[in-house]
Structure 1
Amino acid sequence: MHILLTREASGPPVHHARQCGRRGFAVLAVVMLSLGLVNPAMTQPSLTLQAALDEAQARSATLQAQHAAARAAREMAVASGSLPDPVLRLSVDNLPVEGSGRYSLTDEPMTMRSVGLAQTFTRAEKRQARSARYEREADAALATRSTLLARLRTQTARAWFERYFLEQMLELLQRQREETVSISAGVESAYRGGRSPLADVLSARAAIARIDDRLHEVRADLDNARALLQRWVGDAGSKPLGAPPGIDSTRLAEHALAHEIDQHPDIALMNAREHVALATAEVARQEKSADWSWSVMYSKRGSVFGDMVSLGVSIPLQWNQTGRQDRELAARLEQVEQVRSEREEMRREHLFELQRLLANWRSSLRRLADYDNTLIPLATERAEALMAAFRGGKTSLTSVLEARRMVTDTTLERLRIERQTAAWWADLTFLIPEDLPAHAVPPTPSNHLAQEPMP
Structure 2
Amino acid sequence: MKSNHPVCTRLRSQLRGLVPVALAAILSVSGLAAAEATTTLTLADAEHRISKNPSLAAYRQKILALRHQAIAAAQLPDPHLSLGAVDLPTNNFSMNQQQMSMLSVGLSQTFPPFGQLTLRGRQLRMEARAASASKAERAAELRWLLQQSWIQALVGHDEMRILVRQEQLARLTEQAATAAYRAGRADEADVLRSRLARVALENEKDQIRSEQTVALARITELLGLSAPPQLVWRWPHAAPPPALSLLIARIPGQPTLQAAAANEGAARVSVQVAHRSLLPSITVSTSYSGPRILDKGLSYRL
TM-score class normalised by the smaller sequence: 0.7 to 0.9
Correspondence 1:223 to 2:213? yes
Q: Which amino acid aligns with 1:141?
A: A
Residue 61 of structure 1 deviates from its aligned partner by 0.8
Contact 2:89–2:97 (CA under 8 A) maintained in structure 1:
no
Q: Which amino acid aligns with 1:170?
A: M
Residue 271 of structure 1 deviates from its aligned partner by 1.1
- Once the two structures are superposed, residues 183-242 of structure 1 have per-residue CA deviations (whole angstroms, 9 ceiling, x without a partner) of 333444455566555543443223212222222222222222222222212447431244
Cα distance 1:211–1:286, how it changes in 2: closer, same or farther (>3 A)? same
Residue 103 of structure 1 deviates from its aligned partner by 6.8
- Take 1:162 and 1:92, find their aligned partners in 2: how far apart are those partners? 78
- Take 1:81 and 1:243, find their aligned partners in 2: how far apart are those partners? 54
- Take 1:130 and 1:162, find their aligned partners in 2: how far apart are those partners? 48
Q: Mapping of 1:30-429 within 5 angstroms?
A: 47-58=41-52, 60-95=53-88, 105-121=95-111, 125-191=115-181, 196-235=186-225, 237-245=228-236, 249-251=240-242, 253=244, 259-284=249-274, 287=277, 290-300=280-290, 306-316=292-302
- Take 2:165 and 2:269, find their aligned partners in 1: how far apart are those partners? 64
TM-score (norm 2): 0.73
- Take 1:184 and 1:313, find their aligned partners in 2: how far apart are those partners? 104
In structure 2, stretches of 5+ residues that fail to align are: 1-37
Contact 1:48–1:244 (CA under 8 A) maintained in structure 2:
no
Q: Which amino acid aligns with 2:120?
A: R
- Take 2:128 and 2:298, find their aligned partners in 1: how far apart are those partners? 39
Contact 2:284–2:301 (CA under 8 A) maintained in structure 1:
no
Q: Percent identity?
A: 26
Cα distance 1:228–1:103, how it changes in 2: closer, same or farther (>3 A)? closer
TM-score (norm 1): 0.50
Contact 1:136–1:279 (CA under 8 A) maintained in structure 2:
no
Residue 146 of structure 1 deviates from its aligned partner by 1.6
- Structure with greater proportional strand content: 2
Contact 1:47–1:237 (CA under 8 A) maintained in structure 2:
no
- Once the two structures are superposed, residues 44-72 of structure 1 have per-residue CA deviations (whole angstroms, 9 ceiling, x without a partner) of 775333332222232x1111111101111
- Take 1:210 and 1:293, find their aligned partners in 2: how far apart are those partners? 83
Q: Aligned residues, how many?
A: 264
Partner-residue secondary structure (3-state), 1:298: strand
- Take 2:151 and 2:128, find their aligned partners in 1: how far apart are those partners? 35
- Once the two structures are superposed, residues 358-385 of structure 1 have per-residue CA deviations (whole angstroms, 9 ceiling, x without a partner) of xxxxxxxxxxxxxxxxxxxxxxxxxxxx
Cα distance 1:63–1:143, how it changes in 2: closer, same or farther (>3 A)? same
